């Protein structure tokens, strides 16, 4: 392999010879996004859609095994998984030699090899105030010395300042030291925001890094029409990579291994990504084979699928679709959805028994099964644990949600003195009027959720006011703590339980802890759990944390959606990964 790489280098740098390319340039993959991307600077973006593109242009140190479930980290640009020091704080990575960035004028015609310094630069860049990266929080309080660096006065941020936690020991050896042992730290390194960018490129295009992604990944950005179309082409400088994953060795996994055997990745020479926001046209264009893959629109589920009423995971396509050779992959999304109460709020928040009772009664009044049946069209399962299913640490026997019981909710409110007034609605125990505001967005789906909440509040005779605002307004208000109640969905960034449990961690209030929930025991358990590897001891802590959340009811646990991914008959090699956003490099189209 080394020899081949050497020859490759010699060929490419001579610039006269045609470039040998593994990918078949005549094969074009047609895929779509339902939401517009932002741009292609991995440090500056944190949305799913931009990251999906970045995933194909840039390389992280580690990545995920394509087929293995539960998900498993594997080396990406490194020779082997890193060595971890005895104190659990220092990781040492050995980069593979002969990995090159795609060509760009910023390199002035010279082939540019990926080195350990690139990762040092890229990780420091996440805390550079000029970059104002939304991803800085991932590393700034973890890697030794990075936080101090980030406090450099404006305009004085110097990338050449050495910091103890981030060192290039030699051209190919990277050493990262973190403050405390953290069982999820390697997962962070698998996030695309921590991928390597080249300093020359970032400096050359400093005022528009979003449009000039230059990486070492399988594809390069060929064309970009913001919010409309993104075209990727196979990177001629991409190292030789074949599918190494074997997965379960059965079914789809076995088929993919067989299909991809001996093939060099990426297989398709060109990927065309269209942004199609409306559900109906997106589905119709998939059916017309204008798109290779898609997922079944929520509102189409009953028309398209036969669902086993007792098991929403067990589905089959209706004959008219099955006969076209369309294939399906139903997957639980790596997420939880919940409604939070603002614990700082003078009416709905607080830790006294009467306030707990109010929140508990409201949670009891909400008919979640009906919402799943009618709004989610049955394509969801109830959320019972802060840690979603299929994630390490989820206890399938635990039910931390509040059971639906509006009669009990009424009795409970009576007991705590929330008396029914002359208008038929309850007042606060101190006689003041009681009204709760739910913030929603102006979408058809949110109107359905609003109607469901309206019915719930009516059943316990509490006034509900619904505030409709654009998503970003609600987002801002939730960070400022000025909402009373709002619905949230949290999608996993990495497969660690702490990614979800941190949503109620006190110090994260105003950042990810929108409920502003503070509980000393919960916070202590959270920090303790971070240091522990997967063990019964850690699972016991997780269960306890769930019970604390259940006790104070800062959230109404809602559901976890099931998404049914589909691919047309001529698509090979496609399997949806729960954490990786795209599977494009593995996909083949044989029309």
Partner 1 sequence: MQDMTMTNNSPAELTPPRSLWSLGWQRLKRDRVGFVSLWIVVAFLVVIALCWTRLLASNWGEEVAVPYAPPTWAKGEATAATNGATDANVLGGANGPIITLTPEEDPIGKDIEAARADAGKYQLKATVKADALFMGADVRGRSVVNKVLAGTSTSMLVGIFGALLSVLIGTCLGAFAGYFGRAVDDFLMWFYSVFTSVPDMLLLLAFAAVCGRGFLTLIMVLSFTSWTATFRLVRAEFMKHRSREYVQAADAIGASHLRRMFVHILPNISHLLLVQFSLLLVSLIKYEVILSFLGFGVSVRQVSWGSILGEVPAELMQGYWWQLLAVVIMMSLLVTAVSLLTDALRDALDPKVK
Partner 2 sequence: MLSYILRRVWQMIPTLLGVMLLVFIVFNWAGGDPSYILAGKGVSKELIANIHAQLGLDKSLPEQFLLFVTQVLHLDFGVSWSTQQSVIGIMAARIGPSLALTGTLLVAELLTAIPIAILVAYHRGKLIDRTVTILCTVAMSVSSLVYIIVGQYALAYKLGWFPVMGWDDKSLFNSWLHYIPLPLILGLAVSLAPEVRFYRSFVVEELNQDYVRTARAKGLSERVMLFKHVLRNALIPVVTAVTTSLPFLVLGSMLLERFFGIPGMGNELLLAVDKSDFPVIKAITIAIACATMFFNLLADVLYKWIDPRVELK
Interface residues with partner 2 (CB under 8 A) are 36, 38-39, 44, 46, 129, 132, 134-138, 208-211, 223, 225-229, 274-278, 280-281, 284-285, 287-288, 290, 470-473, 475-476, 479, 510-512
Nearer to partner 2, 38 or 81 (CB): 38
CB of 67 to partner 2, least distance (A): 29
Nearest in space to 508 (alpha carbons), one of 244, 214, 137: 137
Shortest distance, CB of residue 476 to partner 2, whole angstroms?
Answer: 4
Judged by beta carbon distances under 5 to 8 A according to partner kind, the member of partner 1, partner 2, none in contact with residue 254 is: none
Contact 210, 53 (CB under 8 A): no
Is 386 or 562 the residue whose CB approaches partner 2 more closely? 386
The residue among 288 and 590 lying less far from partner 1, judged by its C-beta, is 288
Confirm if 587 and 581 have CB atoms less than 8 A apart: no
Q: How many other CB atoms are found less than 10 A from the CB of residue 455?
A: 16
Q: Which stretch binds partner 1 (CB under 8 A): 25-33, 74-82, 121-129, 436-444?
A: 436-444
Number of residues that bind partner 1 (CB under 8 A): 76
Q: Which of residues 269-288 bind partner 1 (CB under 8 A)?
A: 278-280, 283
What spatial distance separates the first Cα and last Cα of the chain, rounded to whole Å? 32
Phi-psi domain of 282 (left: phi exceeds 0; alpha: psi -120 through 50; beta: other): alpha
| Per-residue binding letters, 208-247, with partner 1 (x by CB under 8 A) | ----------------------------------------
| The only residue of 94, 447, 479, 563 in contact with partner 1, by rule CB under 8 A | 447
Q: Report 471-500 residues binding partner 1 (CB under 8 A).
A: 473
Structure tokens at 309: 């009423």
Binding partner of residue 22 among partner 1, partner 2, none, CB cut-off 5 to 8 Å per kind: none
Please state the closest distance from residue 589 (CB atom) to partner 2, in A.
Answer: 18
Q: Which of 562, 548, 566 is nearest to 296 (CA)?
A: 566
Q: Which of 262, 309 has the CB closer to partner 1?
A: 309
Q: Which of 246, 252, 333, 356 binds partner 1 (CB under 8 A)?
A: 356
Among 4, 132, 222, 353, binds partner 1 (CB under 8 A): 353
Q: What own/partner pairs with CB < 8 Å and gap ≥ 24 does 454-457 have? A: 455/367, 456/362, 456/365, 456/366, 456/367, 456/406, 457/362, 457/365
Q: Is 406 in the site for partner 1 (CB under 8 A)?
A: yes
Residue 36 engages partner 1 in binding (rule: CB under 8 A): no
Spatial strand order in the sheet of 83-84: 83-84, 90-94, 173-177, 166-170
Which residue's CB is nearer to partner 1, number 62 or number 305? 305
Taking CB under 8 A as the rule, does residue 558 contact partner 1?
Answer: no
Out of 15, 407, 489, 540, name the contact with partner 1 by CB under 8 A. Answer: 407
Cα–Cα distance for residue pair 341/402, rounded to 1 Å: 14
457 vs 460: CA distance, rounded Å: 5
Rounded to a whole number of angstroms, the minimum distance from the CB of residue 285 to partner 2 is 5
Residue 412, contacted partner among partner 1, partner 2, none, CB below 5-8 A by kind: partner 1
- Of 319, 444, 520, 533, which one interacts with partner 1 (CB under 8 A)? 444
Toward partner 2, which CB reaches closer, 138 or 466? Answer: 138
Among 65, 141, 435, 543, binds partner 1 (CB under 8 A): 543
Q: CB of residue 228 vs partner 2: minimum separation in angstroms? A: 4
What does the per-residue mask of binding to partner 1 show for 562-591, with x meaning CB under 8 A? ------------------------------
Task: State both tokens at 313.
Answer: 């995971």
Q: Under a CB-based contact definition with an 8 Å cutoff, are residues 503 and 386 in contact?
A: yes
3-class SS of residue 421 = coil
Token pair listed for 247? 């997965």
Which residue spans within 66-172 are E strands per DSSP? 73-75, 83-84, 90-94, 166-170
For the CB of residue 33, give the shortest distance to partner 2 in the complex, in Å. Answer: 11
Partner touching 228 among partner 1, partner 2, none, CB below 5 to 8 Å by kind: partner 2
221 burial type by CB count under 10 A (0-12 exposed, 13-18 middle, 19+ buried): buried
Tokens of 276: 């199609």
Tell me how far apart the alpha carbons of residues 485 and 466 are, in angstroms, rounded to a whole number: 10
Asked if 390 touches partner 1 (CB under 8 A), the answer is: yes
> Could you tell me whether strands 571-572 and 588-589 are parallel, antiparallel, or unpaired per DSSP bridges?
antiparallel
Beta carbon nearer to partner 2, 346 or 510:
510
Please give the Cα distance from 107 to 408 (Å, whole number): 69
Q: Give the residue among 333, 280, 275, 286 at the shortest CA–CA distance from 49.
A: 275
Q: Does 335 bind partner 1 (CB under 8 A)?
A: no
Q: Rule CB under 8 A: is residue 316 a binding residue for partner 1?
A: no
548 exposed, middle or buried (CB, 10 Å; 0-12, 13-18, 19+)?
middle
Strand positions, DSSP E, 515-558: 555-557
- Which of these ranges, 100-108, 186-194, 295-303, 531-539, lies near partner 1 under the rule CB under 8 A? 295-303
Give the residue with the Cβ less far from partner 1, 100 or 295: 295
Q: Binding of partner 1 at residue 357 (CB under 8 A)?
A: yes
Residue 192 sits at φ, ψ, to 5 deg, of -65, -20
463 binds, among partner 1, partner 2, none (CB under 5 to 8 A by kind): none
d(CA 333, CA 92): 33
- Our measurement of the distance from residue 256's CA atom to the centroid of its chain's CA atoms, rounded to an integer in Å, reads 25
The binder of 399, among partner 2, partner 1, none, by C-beta within 5 to 8 A per type, is partner 1
Given the complex with partner 2, which of 514 and 523 has the nearer CB atom? Answer: 514
Phi/psi for 327 (5° steps) reads -120, 150
């Amino acid at each position: 392999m080394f020899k081949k790489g050497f020859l490759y280098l010699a060929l490419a740098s001579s610039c006269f010879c045609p470039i040998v390319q593994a990918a078949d340039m005549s094969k074009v993959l047609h895929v779509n996004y339902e939401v517009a991307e932002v741009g292609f600077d991995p440090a500056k973006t944190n949305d799913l859609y931009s990251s999906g593109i970045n995933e194909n242009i840039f390389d992280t140190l580690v990545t995920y095994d394509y087929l293995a479930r539960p998900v498993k980290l594997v080396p990406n640009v490194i020779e082997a998984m890193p060595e971890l020091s005895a104190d659990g704080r220092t990781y040492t990575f050995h980069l593979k030699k002969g990995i090159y960035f795609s060509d760009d004028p910023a390199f002035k015609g010279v082939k540019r090899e990926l080195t350990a310094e690139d990762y040092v630069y890229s990780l420091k860049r996440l805390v550079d105030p000029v970059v104002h990266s939304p991803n800085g929080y991932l590393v700034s309080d973890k890697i030794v010395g990075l936080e101090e660096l980030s406090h450099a006065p404006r305009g004085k941020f110097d990338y050449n300042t050495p910091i103890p936690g981030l060192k290039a020991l030699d051209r190919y050896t990277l050493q990262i030291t973190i403050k405390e042992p953290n069982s999820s730290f390697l997962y962070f390194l698998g996030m695309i925001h921590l991928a390597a960018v080249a300093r020359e490129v970032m400096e050359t295009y400093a005022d528009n890094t979003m449009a000039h992604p230059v990486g070492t990944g399988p594809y390069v950005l060929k064309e970009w029409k913001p919010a409309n179309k993104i075209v990727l082409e196979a990177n001629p400088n991409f190292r030789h990579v074949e599918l190494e994953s074997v997965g379960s060795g059965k079914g789809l996994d076995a088929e993919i291994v067989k299909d991809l055997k001996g093939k060099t990745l990426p297989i398709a020479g060109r990927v065309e990504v269209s942004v199609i926001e409306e559900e109906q046209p997106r589905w119709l264009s998939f059916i017309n084979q204008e798109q290779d893959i898609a997922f079944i629109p929520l509102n189409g589920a009953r028309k398209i699928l036969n669902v086993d009423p007792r098991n929403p995971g067990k589905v089959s396509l209706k004959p008219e679709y099955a006969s076209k050779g369309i294939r399906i992959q139903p997957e639980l999304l790596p997420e939880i959805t919940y409604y939070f109460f603002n614990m700082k709020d003078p009416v709905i928040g607080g830790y006294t028994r009467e306030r707990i009772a109010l929140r508990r009664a409201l949670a009891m009044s909400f008919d979640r099964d009906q919402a799943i049946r009618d709004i989610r069209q049955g394509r969801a399962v109830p959320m019972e644990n802060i840690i979603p299913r299929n994630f390490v640490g989820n206890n399938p026997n635990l039910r931390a949600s509040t059971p639906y019981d509006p009669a009990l909710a009424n009795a409970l409110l009576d007991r705590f003195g929330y008396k029914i007034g002359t208008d038929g609605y309850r007042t606060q125990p101190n006689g003041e009027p009681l009204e709760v505001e739910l913030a929603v967005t102006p979408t058809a789906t949110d109107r359905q959720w609003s109607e469901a909440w309206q019915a719930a509040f009516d059943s316990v005779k509490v006034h509900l006011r619904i505030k409709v605002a654009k998503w970003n307004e609600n987002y801002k208000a939730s960070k400022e703590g000025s909402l009373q109640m709002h619905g949230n969905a949290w999608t996993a960034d990495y497969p660690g339980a702490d990614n979800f449990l941190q949503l109620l961690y006190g110090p994260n209030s105003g950042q990810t802890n929108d409920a502003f929930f503070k509980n000393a025991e919960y916070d202590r358990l959270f920090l303790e759990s971070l240091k522990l590897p997967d063990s019964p001891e850690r699972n016991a802590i997780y269960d306890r944390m769930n019970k604390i959340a259940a006790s104070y009811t800062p959230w109404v646990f809602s559901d976890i959606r099931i998404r049914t991914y589909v691919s047309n008959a001529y698509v090979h090699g496609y399997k949806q990964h729960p954490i990786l956003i795209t599977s494009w490099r593995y996909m083949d189209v044989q029309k």
